[in-house]
């Protein structure tokens, strides 16, 4: 199998709210990458087909989504299933019919309904641990979510309360995108290394995390800035524009102005910003400036997955 460059690369900043799903797209024109202005994802049932239709020549499509793709190995082992692919194909039917329903009562938490809670008020993370039969919170984290010297621990996939929870976005993405597409898509890294997948014909979907990409683009955290404010986003425009210039990526008319403007005053500004940040990180992986971050062991490749471009 021969690797090739994707003809289309897209990064989607995901949300449970369709109006806050934005993507940034880069097209390969033979001479390099042409980066477009961020745009709404639109109908999830058709957006992968719409991306593929943008290519002017045959070639794979690579799509990054910033919701988890995979489950903690400890949870996976308890399901009795073979791997994440089998779990993804199974949930929502039979004994797993209510898997997508977030539990409101701690008594409902279990292997077949691991997501909790629906609302605040007496709900604690310990309930999730007890319901799933674990004493150590680390058991409910994937390897790519655990604390390192470079990053704090992430929130457990199964916890669905608070500003840093990711469970609801994962549920939406799995149900609306991954499950319906089935074998039409290849999931990195479960279906193989990126180099090998790019030699195939299926659209490749990979997990991303824009927050892990800022520093690679020269965007620091000091002085303190917030992606949630237009002023904060505009304040980091210089290093982002410098990075784009150094890489030599062509830009659609108006993109540089949008970056300098901090993507406007609308609430979607932060979504557009992260869509572009994630795309830049993906381009660096595809162009060989950054390792893809292959699975480190069998459990990662079987159950947990990884974040594209994330170091150990």
Q: Taking the domains of the chain in order of start, what are their residue ranges?
A: 73-166
Handedness of CA 133, 139, 141, 147 (dihedral sign): positive
Distance, CA of 161 to CA of 17 (rounded, Å):
15
Reference 311, options 148, 197, 140; nearest CA is 148
Please give the chain's pLDDT, 312 residues, in tens: 445 889 999 999 999 999 999 999 999 987 899 999 999 999 999 999 999 999 877 889 999 999 999 999 999 999 999 999 999 999 999 999 999 999 999 999 999 999 999 999 999 999 999 999 998 999 999 999 998 877 788 899 999 998 889 999 999 999 999 999 999 999 999 999 999 999 998 999 999 999 999 999 999 988 899 999 999 999 999 999 999 999 999 999 999 999 999 999 999 999 999 999 999 999 999 999 999 987 778 889 999 999 999 987
Q: What confidence score (pLDDT) does residue 152 get?
A: 81
Residues 6+ apart with CB under 8 A from 187: 69, 84, 85, 178, 204, 205, 206, 305
A 10 A CB-CB count for 183 gives 9
Q: How confident is the model over 101-115, as pLDDT tens digits?
A: 999 999 999 999 999
* Distance in Å from the first CA to the final CA of the chain: 27
């Amino acid at each position: 199998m021969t690797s090739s460059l994707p003809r289309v690369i897209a990064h989607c900043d995901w949300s449970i709210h369709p109006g806050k799903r934005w993507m940034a797209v880069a097209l390969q024109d033979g001479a390099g990458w042409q980066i477009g202005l961020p745009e709404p994802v639109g109908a999830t049932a058709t957006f992968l087909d719409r991306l593929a239709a943008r290519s002017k020549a045959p070639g794979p499509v690579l799509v990054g989504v910033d919701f988890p793709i995979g489950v903690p190995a400890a949870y996976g082992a308890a399901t009795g299933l073979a791997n994440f692919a089998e779990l993804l194909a199974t949930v929502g039917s039979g004994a797993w019919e209510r898997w997508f329903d977030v539990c409101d009562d701690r008594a409902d938490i279990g292997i077949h309904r691991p997501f909790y809670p629906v609302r605040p008020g007496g709900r604690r993370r310990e309930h999730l641990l007890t319901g799933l039969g674990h004493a150590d919170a680390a058991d409910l984290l994937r390897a790519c979510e655990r604390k390192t010297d470079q990053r704090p621990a992430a929130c457990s996939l199964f916890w669905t309360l608070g500003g840093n929870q990711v469970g609801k976005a994962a549920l939406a993405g799995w149900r609306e995108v991954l499950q319906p597409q089935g074998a039409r898509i290849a999931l990195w890294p479960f279906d193989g290394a990126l180099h090998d997948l790019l030699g195939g014909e299926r659209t490749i979907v990979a997990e991303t995390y824009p927050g892990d990409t800022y520093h690679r683009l020269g965007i620091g955290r000091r002085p303190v800035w917030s992606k949630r404010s237009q002023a904060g986003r505009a304040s980091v425009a210089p290093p982002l524009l410098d990075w784009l210039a150094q890489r030599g990526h062509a830009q659609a008319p108006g993109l540089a102005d949008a970056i300098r403007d901090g993507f406007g005053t609308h609430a979607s500004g932060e979504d557009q910003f992260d869509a572009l940040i994630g795309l830049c990180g993906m381009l660096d992986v595809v162009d060989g400036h950054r390792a893809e971050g292959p699975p480190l062991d069998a459990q990662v490749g079987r159950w947990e997955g990884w974040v594209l471009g994330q170091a150990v």
